[in-house]
Amino acid sequence: MKTQKLLQEQLESLIDREGLDEVLTAIEQVCSDKADHVRTNWQDHKTADWWLNASYWAGEARDMSYDPEVGQAVLTAAAQKMSG
């Protein structure tokens, strides 16, 4: 679990420095590149599809961050969950 906490701290720092949209765009591209690599070099279409799906959802999350109403709804739901 120590590794998870460190990863979260590093990710938070990266988001603070670069912005959530930039981090999600990078994740989207990394996942897409991994899908291409797995499909081309390993002919593993199931795993490639998994990476492509991850890429899609990273892009969706990024796009949601551009919509203030959606973003506010997400923040409100998160705050309510945290408060109990």
Q: Which residue has the tokens 């959802």?
A: 57
| C-alpha dihedral, 47 to 18 to 4 to 62, nearest 10° | -40
Give the up-direction half-sphere exposure of residue 28: CA atoms within 13 A in the CB hemisphere: 14
Phi, psi of 66, deg, nearest 5: -85, -20
Per-residue pLDDT for the chain (84 aa), expressed as one digit of tens each? 679 999 999 999 999 999 988 999 999 999 999 999 999 999 999 999 999 999 999 998 888 777 666 666 666 666 677 776
Enumerate the domain spans of the chain. Answer: 20-83
Q: Contact at 8 Å (CB) between 77 and 58?
A: no
Token code pair at residue 32: 């897409």
